[in-house]
Amino acid sequence: MAFKERVFSGVQPTGNLHLGNYLGAITKFVALQERYDCIYCVVDLHAITVWQDPSELPRSTREVTAAFLACGIDAKKQIIFNQSQVAEHAELAWVFNCVARMGWLNRMTQFKEKAGKDRENASVGLYVYPNLMAADILVYRATHVPVGEDQKQHLELSRDIAQKFNNDFAQSIHAHGYGEAFFPLPEPLIQGPATRVMSLRDGTKKMSKSEPSDYSRINLTDDADAIAQKIRKAKTDPEPLPSEEKGLEPRPEADNLVGIYAALKGSSKADVLREFGGGQFSTFKTALADLAVAKLGPIGAEMKKLMQDPVYIDSVLADGSERAQTLAAETMKAVKDIVGFVRR
């Protein structure tokens, strides 16, 4: 069956929105709105799978919303909202808790990394996080999901859940007039030179919000001086830049900075190496800092401006939530019929 093409993705309001979130996800969100109907969500239900200070969470939620707007997502044409305002996400997640298998979740590397050695003490929410993520996407029967490389495994799980639901309830889906399959198998969109931006302090670790060192990441709200200083101090090796992409393979820090430059410029790593290959890092870092400041400076400034008007931001979220809920409620009605729940 052909499904209406629709994009869904989310960002957690867990503070310190960074260059990885921007290049891996938000720039893709912006580009996709030209071709698709898009739903972009501030996933606050996901955020509380690890402790969030209730006095900070509203600010973080508004900050992600401000980033969406400042980067150029059109809140009138597309839907921007926060997850907890649409209860259907949690409702469908429960159904998916009963579809997904323990064995599938046991393979999720993000849970293993985040729970660490103290697994007994991790929240149950952190364990079933991928089921909620599947619900986020499928409650809109979304077909395309732009994410960074780190979310690939969760996307594959979403596809497995959609497939199992379609198989388990095949007869009922057919009987209710939905044809062969009720849920699409959502496609991950993971493309370009910066699908996994690495820490500026360690090229083998992902750039992340929760890394204690602020020098490991460029925050979207960093000013020009901070951006330039972080790039100047970024870890590199003593060799000049290679002229061919293959030369980046054993050099994670060089590979990371070249990838960041390429993504910010909208070119490829090969193009960047044609320009800077054979040169010293100092020259390249200066060019990278200038480019990063030119691209991120206006976004940070706009975010700060928007953050001064929380009433406006909340009105964007309220309007988006209402429109999202209309779509989600339609899916949930159908799911209830398919599963066999008696409803009003």
Q: Return residues touching ligand AQP (CB under 6 A).
A: 11-12, 14, 20-21, 24-25, 147-148, 150-151, 195-197, 206-210
CB of 202 to ligand AQP, least distance (A): 12
Instruction: Give the integer Cα–Cα distance in Å for 92 and 99.
Output: 11
Nearer to ligand AQP, 264 or 332 (CB): 264
- The answer for residues whose C-beta is within 8 angstroms of residue 177's C-beta and 6 or more apart is none
Shortest distance, position 192 Cβ to ligand AQP, whole Å:
10
Residue nearest to ligand AQP (CB): 24
* Least distance to ligand AQP, CB of residue 110, Å: 7
Compare residues 25 and 73 and give the one whose CB is closer to ligand AQP: 25
Half-sphere exposure of 126 (CA within 13 A, CB side): 18
Active-site residue, 114 included: yes
Give whichever of 52 and 172 is closer to ligand AQP, judged by the CB atom.
Answer: 52
Task: Rank residues 21 and 158 by Cβ distance to ligand AQP and give the closer one.
Answer: 21
> For the chain, what is the radius of gyration of the CA atoms?
21
Per the listing, tokens 């800092």 go with: 289
Integer Cα distance of 212 and 220 in angstroms: 17
For the CB of residue 236, give the shortest distance to ligand AQP in the complex, in Å: 18
Closest CA to 200 of 60, 41, 20: 20
Which candidate in 112, 164, 205, 209 is catalytic? 209
Annotated catalytic residue 76: no
Closest distance of CB 23 from ligand AQP, Å: 6
Smaller CB distance to ligand AQP: residue 208 or 243?
208
Comparing CB distances to ligand AQP, the nearer of 166 and 195 is 195
- Distance from the Cα of residue 80 to its chain's centroid: 14
Q: Single out the residue of 219, 200, 286 nearest to residue 22, CA to CA.
A: 219
- Single out the catalytic residue among 114, 152, 265, 336: 114
Shortest distance, CB of residue 204 to ligand AQP, whole angstroms? Answer: 12
> Do residues 302 and 294 touch, judged by C-beta distance below 8 A?
no
Residue 341 CB, nearest approach to ligand AQP (Å): 31
Given phi > 0 = left and psi -120 to 50 = alpha, else beta, which region is 6?
A: beta
The conformation of residue 139, written as its DSSP 8-state character, comes to T
Task: Specify whether the CB–CB gap between 136 and 82 falls below 8 A.
Answer: no
Sign of CA dihedral 56, 62, 65, 70: negative
Q: Are 331 and 86 within 8 A, CB to CB?
A: no
Residue closer to ligand AQP, measured from CB, 150 or 302: 150
Q: Which two tokens stand for residue 18?
A: 């960074």
Q: Identify the three-state secondary structure at position 293.
A: helix
Q: Which of 4, 117, 205, 206 is catalytic?
A: 206
> Do residues 41 and 146 touch, judged by C-beta distance below 8 A?
no
145 token code pair: 């999901």
In the chain, DSSP assigns E strands to 6-11, 37-42, 79-82, 144-146, 187-189
Catalytic residue annotation: 114, 206, 209
